[in-house]
């Protein structure tokens, strides 16, 4: 009886088209007033939120606004949409999987998309990484990695290794354990100081990726290992590129030295490849630049080609066995949407697509086209221009007004979202030269016209 009354009421509301706040037709405009008053966007104030731009569709490397204007995407949707938007293979993978199994709990159950994805991950990552934990976001994969490192030592009967070591300028996510290993002074999470676990921070890598490596920067690093290894469970770092903490491109020999120090002082090595994995730096995984293997690896973002949220934490037989033979006997983590079949299937398809594509050629081309950014060096307010793989960065001497410069970029027909003092590009791999040229020109024009102030 209650159901029939609700059903009739719903029908009447639909006929009168008076369901408050819900668009009943695809032709209805996006309610930006509601968005401004009620929706909390990332890193945005609810008192004076910066403008948002209503998107209705996206295809290839272009985002279509409700106005009909198309923007060339320079962000790859926060670095994840490597194949471009609405790729038919990825769309088909989700549609076909949804018709049979959209989700099922992963506790006590398995399914083909998860098994096939984990096979692929074991195959394409370092040979020592044979155990896979599936999670639902990059931050959570870091949480799992930290738990793994702490639980491993507890399982070995070592109760002193309760902290992590990590360089300044790092960024590993927005959840609490991940925040605790982000740069404690200059990161967006500095205001949580006092609430977060306190870990051991060392100076950020200094030698540039393209310059000669200065071995003197390892002196303090080894001193930190020597003095504190008894309390350090793991060293966590983003390989080769420290991303949201400052876009620092550092020398592979630094990473190689970290691996050696971890071995020497009995510390696990966690590599956060959430942003750099799947080809962004010119290698499938950035640690390949240093010819090393981690004890624990975090991946996400481009794992599904930007279609759905999914991440993974991979580790070695040694770590997995060490945890499993300990007091708990299990890893103490289990997200509700762990191993989601839709995400796993589209991730399998994305990896297949990457392997069949000429992504190495695409990334090399983008690298070459991004050299146009160097014309920005003529401006006195530009302190650095750096390019690696399909990443281009222009660093200014002053903090950027994001709302003002984004409005400028949209007027120019591009989508670029800076942060801090950095204007950067991480475009989809399918981007063509003309698109990259327009993105670079828009950055040049924005600096020239002082649109960042």
Residues annotated as part of the active site:
43, 171, 272, 301
Find tokens 């839709």 and name the residue. 342
The half-sphere exposure of 129 on its side-chain side, counting CA atoms within 13 A, is 27
**Cα 232 from Cα 262, distance rounded (Å):** 10
């Amino acid at each position: 009886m209650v159901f029939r009354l609700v059903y009739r009421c719903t029908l009447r509301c639909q006929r009168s088209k008076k369901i408050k706040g819900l668009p009943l037709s695809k032709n209805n405009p996006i309610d930006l007033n509601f968005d401004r008053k009620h929706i909390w966007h990332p890193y945005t104030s609810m008192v004076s939120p910066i403008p948002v731009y209503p998107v209705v569709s996206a295809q290839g490397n272009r985002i279509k606004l409700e106005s009909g204007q198309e923007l060339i995407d320079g962000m790859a949707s926060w670095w994840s949409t490597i194949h471009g938007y609405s790729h038919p293979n990825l769309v088909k993978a989700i549609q076909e999987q949804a018709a049979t199994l959209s989700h099922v709990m992963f506790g006590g159950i398995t399914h083909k998309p998860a098994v096939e994805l984990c096979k692929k991950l074991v195959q394409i990552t370092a040979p020592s990484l044979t155990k896979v934990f599936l999670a639902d976001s990059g931050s959570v994969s870091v949480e799992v990695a930290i738990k793994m490192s702490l639980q491993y030592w507890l399982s070995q009967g070592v109760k002193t290794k309760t902290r992590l070591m990590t360089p300044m300028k790092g960024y590993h996510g927005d959840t609490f354990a991940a925040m605790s290993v982000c740069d404690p002074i200059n990161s967006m999470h500095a205001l949580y100081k006092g609430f977060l676990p306190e870990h051991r921070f060392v100076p950020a890598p200094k030698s540039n990726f393209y310059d000669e490596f200065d071995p003197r920067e390892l002196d303090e690093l080894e001193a930190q290992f020597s003095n504190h290894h008894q309390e350090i469970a793991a060293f966590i770092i983003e390989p080769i590129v420290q991303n949201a903490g400052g876009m620092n491109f550092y020398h592979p020999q630094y990473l190689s030295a970290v691996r050696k120090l971890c071995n020497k002082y009995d510390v696990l090595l966690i590599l956060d490849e959430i942003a750099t994995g799947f080809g962004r730096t010119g290698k499938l995984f950035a640690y390949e630049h240093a010819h090393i293997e981690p004890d624990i690896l975090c991946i996400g973002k481009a794992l599904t080609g930007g279609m759905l949220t999914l991440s993974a934490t991979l580790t070695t037989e040694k770590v997995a066995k060490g945890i499993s033979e300990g007091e708990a006997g299990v890893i103490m983590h289990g997200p509700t949407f762990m191993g989601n079949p839709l995400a796993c299937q589209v991730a399998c398809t994305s990896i297949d697509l990457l392997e069949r594509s000429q992504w190495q050629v695409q990334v090399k081309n983008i690298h070459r086209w991004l050299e146009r950014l160097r014309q920005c060096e003529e401006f006195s307010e530009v302190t650095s221009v750096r390019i690696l793989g399909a990443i281009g960065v222009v660093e200014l001497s002053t903090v950027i007004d994001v709302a003002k410069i984004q409005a400028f970029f949209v007027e120019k027909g591009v989508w670029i979202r800076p942060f801090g003092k950095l204007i950067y590009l991480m475009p989809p791999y399918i981007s063509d030269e003309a698109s990259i040229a327009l993105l670079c020109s828009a950055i040049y024009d924005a600096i020239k016209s002082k649109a960042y102030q």
